[in-house]
Structure 1
Amino acid sequence: MSTSQSAGHRASASRPARSGPVPTREMVWAAASRMRPYLRRTPLLRVEVDGRPLVLKLEHQQLTGSFKLRGALNALLAGDRPRRVVTASGGNHGLGVATAARLLGVPAEVYVPTTVPDGKARRIEATGATLVRHGDRYAEAAAAAVLAASGEGVRYVPAYDDPEVVVGQGTVAAEVVADLPEVDTVAVAAGGGGLAAGTVLAVGPERTVVAAEPVGCASLGHALEAGEPVDAPVNSVASSALGATRVGDHPFAVLGSAENLRSALVEDARLLAARDRLWEEFRIAAEPAAAVPFAAWLDGDVPGRLPCVVVCGANTDWAPA
């Protein structure tokens, strides 16, 4: 089961962003230019599924196995080069920050809860970053990371609530429209809102953006209903990647006033079926979160004559059914 809605009529209720630059489309294109030497330009795959045309953006083939490298890299390139970078994450964001720091020759510390899966911890440590285990919950690790980043010349990179991170994530969609201008809709997975907001900026008002979320962790959907970021429950098989309890203020400053945004909700059974179908038909080993927009497309919640679904990550240990 899925639902969809437009966000445009809620523009007057949106909250202003935190201090910092308001992300713009021009910033996305500038970020794409400055990051070009460091990133892999991931390919597009034109396919037909159930008799319908579709484009898949294979962002899971990015250097770190997910789009998160883009936001982290742009955050470090956009201003003065920090002497050290700190973040909190046991997943794709932590790996993205650690890899971006390695590419730029900056020492990195990634704080994770003690419950972090061994596979994720191993990938982060393989970059050369210092892995700091702290607390049993992510919130405890994040609090320690923010404290550790309080020194001069240290950059704390949030997972999504940062204008430069939003802009960096938008370069995924910038590549889509540059490589295939005929695409009229771009569908992405939404967690804290960084990728969705960056996509809205990159594609412009002439194209539709679908932000797809699991029913059990829909922080953006709750925010759009309330007209501002609010706390939302987290209960989904995709919550390890899309489990933000609250959409970020910076992303919502873009998403809350976007006339071209649609929100789609997907049941867990549907996203898992979509994940397995990506493997069976295309040998794409997507993580559950990355299959959410494909599930929304299969459910008929992604309009357009030539829509593009972003397969945003493949950092998980799983075997398809």
Structure 2
Amino acid sequence: MTQHIDDDIDWHAEIGAAARRLGGHVGPFLRETPLWRLPAAALGVEGAGEVWLKLEHLQTSGSFKARGMLNRLLAGDIPEAGVVVASGGNAGIATAAAARHLGVRCEVFLPGVSSEAKRQRLRALGAQVSVVGEVYADALAACLARQQATGALLTHAYDQVEVVAGAGTLGLEIERQAGAAPDAVLVSVGGGGLAGGLAAALAGRSRIVALEPEAAPTLFRAREAGEPVDVEVGGIAADSLGARRIGSLAWRIAQRHVQEALLLSDDAIRAAQQWLWREMKLAVEPAAALPLAALHSGAWRPAAGTATCLVICGANVDPATLG
């Protein structure tokens, strides 16, 4: 059944179109990432029920972003100037990887908060890299100016229909792999493209729990204010979750289909990141550890007999920092 989540975008159709576009690139570029179904105790969590880990950090380019960025590039013609994107790192890496896959030019604008590991990865992919300002908003302003000057295709990190729809294909993949939608999905939020895509894909079938660092509460503050607002951002996950304002598309979806928004401390995020490495040998960036941090800290407690899916969203981390 078609889900009309807002007045002018048929997300059921958009996500279906994205799945069809991307389907021909699974293998040559995209990967179907594993879904681990574990008893809660295997993750150090009290209580009954299953916890599913969607290992999307094993996706091409090291994050879920590859889905949305490739969908954006495939959805229309790419000009001779190529593509341009502003990013804390992951969206840029995904855009650069998709551009190389399709044989087009790519320019990426990064903020100063971006990690050196992500900068090196971008250069290895052949992207032209410019570091501008300190936070994502600074890089975005420079990116928009460059796009106006060159006519390159703008790929937004989280606030374009094709990008959100591409992220939504992750929800369809989880449901297909498991044979059913999970009762709850725990997902990290920066600009909200992933949470919005999952909420659109799983509307009416899964409870979506949006997770943010205390130092970057874009959705949480928007819900308090009743509208998107600018926030100060920082903390351990700022290079991935450093948007100053929730994306307009994610906000529209979230008002109807994101049931909870929770904040987590940097200490809890770091502890979960280290636990995933120490106990499961999963090398993930801080943004990917928020779902487990929500369980370990008690911010989210799965109900008995339910299935809770943790989206492990990115792996662009310097292994030396895992200790």
**TM-score normalised per structure 1:** 0.87
Q: Secondary structure at the match of 1:211?
A: strand
Contact kept, 8 Å, 1:213 with 1:264, in 2: the verdict is: yes
Give distance in 1, aligned partners of 2:282 and 2:317.
Answer: 12
Q: 1:247 to 1:114 in 2, by over 3 A?
A: closer
Give the Å deviation of 1:113.
Answer: 4.2
Hey, what's the Cα distance between the residues in 1 that align with 2:175 and 2:301? 17
Structure 1 portions without partners, runs of 5+: 1-15
Matched, 1:47 2:38: yes
What residue identity is the alignment partner of 2:283? A
TM-score, normalization: structure 2? 0.87
Q: Secondary structure at the match of 2:33?
A: coil
Among residues 119, 122, 125, which one is paired with 2:120 in the alignment? 122
**Structure 2 counterpart SS, 1:64:** helix
Question: Deviation at 1:208?
Answer: 0.7
TM-superposition CA deviations, 1:177-232 (whole Å, max 9, x none): 11113422111101111100000011121211111111221100111111110012
Higher mean displacement: 143-152 or 84-93: 143-152
The 1:138/1:253 distance shift into structure 2, 3 A limit, reads closer
Cα deviation, 1:239-273, whole Å, max 9, x if unaligned, reads 22111111011111111222x52212212211111
In 2: Cα distance, 1:137 partner to 1:251 partner: 20
Q: How much has 1:174 moved relative to structure 2?
A: 1.5
Q: How does 1:1-321 map to 2 (within 5 A)?
A: 22=9, 24-36=11-23, 37=25, 38-50=29-41, 52=48, 53-83=50-80, 84-113=82-111, 116-135=114-133, 138-150=136-148, 154-182=152-180, 183-258=182-257, 261-298=259-296, 299=298, 301=300, 303=302, 305-317=306-318, 318-321=320-323
Q: 1:47 to 1:100 in 2, by over 3 A?
A: same
Contact 1:76 1:82 in 2 (8 A): no
| Residues in 1 aligned to 2:141 and 2:184: alpha-carbon distance in whole angstroms | 38
Where does the alignment leave 5 or more consecutive residues of structure 2 unmatched?
Answer: 1-5, 42-46
Q: Which amino acid aligns with 1:94?
A: G
1:59-89 superposed Cα distances (whole Å, 9 cap, x missing partner)? 0001111111111111111223343101122
Tell me, in whole angstroms, the C-alpha distance in 1 between the residues paired with 2:322 and 2:104. 37
C-alpha spacing 1:104/1:280, structure 2 compared with 1 (3 Å): same
CA contact (8 A) 2:274 2:322 kept: yes
The CA distance in 2 between the partners of 1:99 and 1:121, in whole Å, is 13
The alpha-carbon deviation at position 135 of structure 1 amounts to 4.6
Alignment partners' CA distance in 1, 2:78 and 2:85: 16
- Provide the alpha-carbon RMSD of the alignment: 2.2
The answer to whether the 8 A contact 1:213-1:292 is kept is yes
Indicate if the aligned counterparts of 1:95 and 1:123 stay in contact, CA closer than 8 A: yes
Change in CA separation of 1:174 and 1:56 when aligned onto 2, cut-off 3 Å: same
| Residues in 2 aligned to 1:236 and 1:129: alpha-carbon distance in whole angstroms | 27
Q: Residue 39 of structure 1 contacts residue 63 of structure 1 at CA under 8 Å; is this kept in 2? A: yes
118 and 271 in structure 1: CA distance in 2 versus 1, 3 angstrom threshold? closer
Contact 2:137–2:243 (Cα < 8 Å) also in 1: no
Structure 2 distance, partners of 1:281, 1:115, is: 29
User: Residues 261 and 78 of structure 1: is their aligned pair in 2 closer, same or farther, counting only changes over 3 Å?
Assistant: farther
SS of aligned partner of 1:265: strand
**Identity, % of aligned positions:** 42
The one-character-per-residue Cα deviations of 1:296-321 (angstroms, maximum 9, x if unpaired) are 13325154501110000011114335
Alpha-carbon spacing, 1:45–1:94, altered in 2? closer, same or farther (3 Å)? same
Query: May I ask how many residue pairs the two structures share in their alignment?
Result: 303
Cα displacement (A) at 1:134:
4.0
Structure 1 stretches of 4+ with a deviation exceeding 6 A read none
Q: Is the 8 A contact 1:220 1:247 kept in 2?
A: yes
Which residue identity does 1:189 align to in structure 2?
S
**1:247 partner amino acid:** I
SS at match of 1:256: helix
Q: How far apart are the structure 2 equivalents of 1:90 and 1:278?
A: 23
Deviation string for 1:102-134 (max 9, x for gaps)?
Answer: 111111111234675432221001111222344
